[in-house]
Homo-oligomer: A and B are copies of this chain.
Amino acid sequence: MPEKQIAKFSVTHLQVLDEKGKVDAALEPDLGQEQAVEMYRWMRLARTLDERMLKLQRQGRLGTFPPCTGHEAVSIPVGLAMKKGDWFAGAFRELGTRLVRGEPLTNTLHYYNGWEEGNILPDADLRILPTSVVIGCQIEHAAGLAYAAKYRGTDEAVVTFIGDGGTSEGSFHEGLNFAAVWKAPMVAIVQNNQWAISIPRETQTASETLAQKGIAYGIPVIQVDGNDPLAVWVAVNEALDRARAGDGPTLIEAVTYRLMMHTTADDPTKYRQSADEEAAWAKEPLIRTRKWLANKGWWDDAREEKLLAECKEQVDAAVEEFETPVERAHDESFRHVYGTEHAVIREQHEDFLANQEREGQRG
Contacts and interface: CB of A to CB of B under 8 A. Distances in A.
Contact of A215 (B1, B204, B212, B219): B212
Contacts of A11: 5-8
A209 B26 CA distance: 35
A172 interface: yes
The 4 closest A-B pairs by CB, nearest first: A170-B170, A173-B173, A207-B218, A206-B218
A9 B6 CA distance: 11
A170 B173 CA distance: 6
Given A172-B173, A174-B169, A206-B181, A13 B3 contact: yes
A273 interface: no
Interface in A240-288: 248
A1 B173 CA distance: 30
Nearest to A9: B9
In the complex, the count of this chain's copies comes to 2
A150 interface: no
A33 interface: no
B207 A215 contact: yes
A183 interface: yes
Interface extent on A, as a size class?
35 or more
A208 B216 CA distance: 9
A10 B204 CA distance: 23
Interface string A171-186: 1111001001101000
Nearest to A170: B170
Nearest to A228: B2
B12 A5 contact: yes
A219 B212 CA distance: 12
Contacts of A215: 9, 207, 212-213, 215-216
A212 B2 contact: no
A217 B173 CA distance: 12
A348 interface: no
A14 interface: yes
A218 B205 CA distance: 8
A4 interface: yes
Nearest to A28: B2
A24 B209 CA distance: 36
A203 interface: yes
A8 B9 contact: yes
A315 B192 CA distance: 56
Interface in A63-83: none
A347 B154 CA distance: 62
B4 A12 contact: yes
Contacts of A172: 173
